[in-house]
Structure 1
Amino acid sequence: MYALFAYGFTNRHLDHIVKEYYKDKTTIKNNEADNLLNYNEFIHRCKTRGYEKFALGKLYEIDVTYYSNVNYPSLIAEVKKQIVI
């Protein structure tokens, strides 16, 4: 997420990237984000806050360097096996 915002690609809620949020303000320029973490702080928080322990279910690690190489039918079949209705 840090890299996406730093390069101008974000649709995050303003409350995540500014210290003061006003309901009527809906957009800002990237250089106005006064609560954006730098890369080192972002990594530090990920490593020290136990984020790796948080899970909602089975973890699927997929190399998406090239999206065209992902076997989507196989992935979808695996996810469907985990869904309990």
Structure 2
Amino acid sequence: MEKYLILLAGSPATGKSYLVEELKQVLPDMFVITPDEGKEVIADAVGFNNLKEKAALETQVWDFYYGVLNLYMKIGKKVILSEYPFSEKQRRRLSELSAQHKYKVITIRLVADFDVLWERRKKRDVEPSRHLSHIQSHYHYGDELEDRSKADQLITKSAFKQIIESRRYNDFQLGELYEIDVTDYSKVDYSELKQTLQNKIMNDK
């Protein structure tokens, strides 16, 4: 049986979480793991009082993430999907685990015009559903901030652009690549991608 690791890559605010739900329709048995979920779980469990402590938690997040990914690969889960703005920082470890456990890798890379992404990012960061730990320099479970625009770690437009460019989110690829432009959501149709992946993975015994 062939096994697959699907990496859903691309800059923040490209709609990766939405696409995860779309792919679940055709690959309902896949295991989904995201580093951001790990960040939120650990932030709720441990918390942090300053940026130094917040940065220290990052190490725990990636140990947790790679540990869980390794476990599911070790037991042979047929389809694993991971969603994140992947960069060169994750390439080596993902390559090693995929090779070790004999997983075929598929990268789905979402790209979009920067100004569109920035407007989406600004809006997303102040939504009540956004986990507060992402936009604060201090956080403990139960903290609240009614006016999210007052968060002290909201990213600026210039910093957002610099991160995208320096981390080369638009260039990341492992294995086979599918790239989709999501600048205009109204023109995005995932039907062909979903059918292609379903045929490729479910028929690959």
Same fold (TM over 0.5): yes
Offset of residue 72 of structure 1:
4.1
Q: Distance in 2 between matches of 1:66 and 1:50?
A: 22
The two structures have a TM-score, normalised by structure 2, of 0.33
Offset of residue 65 of structure 1:
2.2
- After superposition, where does 1:38-53 map in structure 2 within 5 Å? 38-53=156-171
- Does residue 59 (structure 1) correspond to residue 178 (structure 2)? The answer is yes
Q: Distance in 2 between matches of 1:29 and 1:22?
A: 17
| The one of 84, 98, 120 aligned to 1:4 | 120
How many residues were matched structurally? 84
Instruction: Say whether the 8 Å CA contact 2:127–2:148 is kept in structure 1.
Output: no
Offset of residue 53 of structure 1:
4.1
| The one of 22, 45, 65 aligned to 2:140 | 22
Instruction: Say whether the 8 Å CA contact 1:14–1:21 is kept in structure 2.
Output: yes
Q: Distance in 2 between matches of 1:73 and 1:59?
A: 13
Change beyond 3 A, Cα 1:82–1:32: farther
Runs of 5+ consecutive residues of structure 2 not aligned to the other structure:
1-12, 14-117
Question: Which fold has the larger relative contact order, with Cα–Cα distance below 8 Å and residues 6 or more apart in sequence?
Answer: 2
SS for the counterpart of 1:61 is strand
Runs of 5+ consecutive residues of structure 1 not aligned to the other structure:
none
Instruction: Say whether the 8 Å CA contact 1:63–1:70 is kept in structure 2.
Output: yes
Question: Quick one: percent identity of the two aligned structures?
Answer: 23
Q: CA deviation digits over 1:23-48, x for unaligned, max 9?
A: 11145422221111111110101111
Q: CA RMSD in A?
A: 3.0
Offset of residue 19 of structure 1:
0.6
The structure richer in helix per residue is: 2
Q: Distance in 2 between matches of 1:64 and 1:82?
A: 27
The structure richer in strand per residue is: 2
